[in-house]
Amino acid sequence: MIKDEHSGKQRTAGSGRGRIIGLISAAVLLLCVITGAVYHRAVRAVWHNLTVEKYKLSEETDWENGTSYMGVRYAEASEAQYLDLYVPDTEAGAPLPKLYVIIHGGGFIAGDADTRQARLMYRYFRDHGYACATINYRLAQEAGFPAAVEDCKTAIRFLRAHAQEYGFDGSHFAVFGESAGGFLASMCAGTNDQEFNDQPYIGEEAYLAAGGEKVSAEPDVLVDYYGFVNDFDQAHDWQRLGIPGFVVDIANSWMGGDAAQGYESMHSFFFRKNVSEMTIEELDYYDPSYYMMENLNGDRRLSVWIVHGDCDITVPYTQSEKLYEFLSGLQGSEYVSYHLVPGMGHASDPLYSDEMLGELKEYMDERL
């Protein structure tokens, strides 16, 4: 009798716990369903960022098909002012390789001349006949805007002045930038040789004294990969794309807090003033589009190749969309090629696949 009662109580308690667990599970499932329905674009973006293919990238630095010049100093203002240069071998009488300048990203506070994305780009192009120079520049912790822009333009002028010495064709060139490097590459492409171009490169004085002409830093081709380039207040872009702010904040937490050194955003730290406090004139000073409007509406034309993933949760792809529309209206759509790649996040390796870079190479071959 007591045993039966005890057994009954056990069954009743077990059933109660089961119902509670079931209700909690159902509530969690319902919450997931609701969250997925409300934030389905964010869920898709996060999922693709977590599951995107990662290429195996060798750490080997030796290169058998050309000459590597590592840590070449191009200016004397900072230890950060160096570049790495890879020049393919050419047969006697063959045309010299064209120059491809590569500018790394990293939110203006991280990265160097040999970041993963720089490697993915230069390893393909040096093996396909281009002289590739990957530039190191002063990060925001060392110097704010326009130091990094000046560094990139100085490095370009150094390279073109020494083209014959290193064995490549410096008459025409392309400049590539990814993420923050996309901003810097766009500034190089949009500005003229009177803007942010006063820093001397090593040997410039002697070069000019020997009869050399002032070297231009204006590229023929701009390659912009998911660049932060034309709108410093991105909140409305994320809203349009259905990505809530907390997802963006979590994904990019490494650029917040102490990293921004008290400024409201990383680009505000780079500019040394909060974007929200800037006047229209100040915003123009930092905006590549302003310089493009000024310098690309006459005889000069710039060929532009833009790539962005539609699951990017660091830089909204609307940045590239607006740049494409702006440059198409300014120069004509025949000068601009925009590629929105489904399922790709920020700096995803498949954006550097042989197929995609092969298409880019064909584009550059036609224009350099």
Average pLDDT over residues 73-83: 98
Q: CATH code for 66-367?
A: 3.40.50.1820
**Cα dihedral sign, 65-71-76-77:** positive
**Cα dihedral sign, 24-25-27-31:** positive
The answer to whether residues 282 and 199 touch, using CB atoms and an 8 Å cutoff, is no
65-99 as b/e, with b when 16 or more CB fall inside 10 Å?
ebeeeeebebbeebebbbbbbbbbeeeeeeebbbb
State yes or no: cis peptide before 146, omega within 30 of 0: yes
The answer to whether residues 242 and 39 touch, using CB atoms and an 8 Å cutoff, is yes
Nearest to 100 by CA among 149, 47, 170, 22: 170
Share of the chain above pLDDT 90, in %: 73
Average pLDDT over residues 23-37: 43
pLDDT of res. 23: 42
The answer to whether residues 105 and 229 touch, using CB atoms and an 8 Å cutoff, is no
Q: pTM of this prediction?
A: 0.89
Q: Which two tokens stand for residue 284?
A: 């123009």
* Tally of residues, the chain: 368
Nearest to 171 by CA among 261, 95, 230, 62: 95
pLDDT, tens digit, for every residue of 90-139?
Answer: 988 899 999 999 999 999 999 999 999 999 999 999 999 999 999 999 99
Q: Kindly tell me if the per-residue pLDDT of 82 is higher than 90.
A: yes
Q: Is 343 left (phi over 0), alpha (psi -120 to 50) or beta?
A: left
Nearest to 310 by CA among 101, 49, 71: 49
Residue ranges per structural domain of the chain: 2-38, 66-367
Q: Kindly tell me if the per-residue pLDDT of 293 is higher than 70.
A: yes
| Calpha distance 92→95 (Å, rounded) | 9
| Calpha distance 288→275 (Å, rounded) | 15
